[in-house]
Amino acid sequence: MPNLTNLLGTAAVVVAIATGAHAQDDAKTQAPTADTVVATVNGTDITLGQMQVALSGLPPQYAQLDDETLFKGVLDQMIQQTALSEIGEGRKTKRDDIALEVQRRAYLAGSYLEYAAKEAVTDEAVQKAYDETYASADPVKEYHAAHIIVPTEEKAKELKTELDDGADFAKLAKDNSQDGAAENGGDLGWFALDAMVEPFGEAVAKMEDGDISDPVQTNYGWHLIKLEGTRMSEAPALEDVRAELENKLQTQAMQDRVTSTVDEADVERMDDGIDPAVLKDESLLDQ
């Protein structure tokens, strides 16, 4: 795992840890808040809230560290960034100013959309989405099938002859089929017809339980299909699909918010006459 303190070397780390420990001792005298100052760098405060935001931007594996190591590591990083940013502030270029503005807009837009997404998920909204998607939907016929897929019709016919003579379908699938289902005897599980390519689905629809089809060609190769059974689907329990429904609600809410916000904004485009290729000319940022 990357070491958060590598940048400034061992000596700087010792100082940073000592500073962080001192700040923590002071903070123990009162309940910490997002505004609690945990360190200063040349008079610039580093707050607990800033550390929390920094932590949220780190890879998930950092959450596996123990609290003390994580706290010290994030504080070390913030000290390094604060010290370096002071120097960087005095060396900013036009490119830097533009980059910071783009990042500011992107962050605020993303934050607003996150709010819209969270606001969209209520128990009432989830229940309504469930009723519309599942509870009031007509049952769908589902099929349980297995298949053997090979690259040529000749091979498919050869295997069909073996099956007609009593060969075990699952064993032939394991030995001959050329897809991931082979190791499970060609088992494809339960599916609705619209989930399968044609004419695979069309062939399945005409079969009876236990039937084995003649060779069927699709873009993937030649199939021999065995229909194991059929059933009418039942609506899943709400809790089983809650995450799916919440995701759809959030996605739709964000799309709607983008559309409505842009529609209501006073937008004036002035890109006529600008050569689109100029977008790739980064030398403009240094002029």
Residue 48 has pLDDT above 60, yes or no: yes
Query: What is the pLDDT at residue 29?
Result: 62
Greater model confidence, 135 or 278? 278
- The mean per-residue pLDDT over the stretch 23-49 comes to 83
**Domains of the chain by start residue, with CATH:** 6-89 (no CATH), 139-232 (3.10.50.40)
Q: What local confidence, expressed as pLDDT, does residue 175 receive?
A: 97
Residues facing residue 218 across a β-bridge: 221
Residues 53-61 have a mean pLDDT of: 91
**What is the average pLDDT across 264-270?**
94
Hey, what are 47's tokens? 């707050």
The pairing of beta strand 141-150 with beta strand 187-192: antiparallel
> For position 7, what pLDDT does the model report?
38
**pLDDT band per the 50, 70, 90 thresholds, residue 2:** very low
Residue 120, pLDDT > 50, answer yes
Place of tokens 């996150």: 114
pLDDT at 107 over 50: yes
- pLDDT for position 268: 93
Span of 87-91, 164-168, 184-188, 201-205 with lowest mean pLDDT: 87-91
Average pLDDT over every residue of 198-227: 97
Q: Residue 173 phi/psi, 5° resolution?
A: -65, -45
In tens, the pLDDT along 158-188 reads: 999 999 999 999 999 999 999 999 999 999 9
Mean pLDDT of 26-41: 84
Mean pLDDT of the residues in the chain: 89
- What phi and psi values does residue 190 have, to the nearest 5 degrees? -90, 140
DSSP-derived letter for residue 110 is H
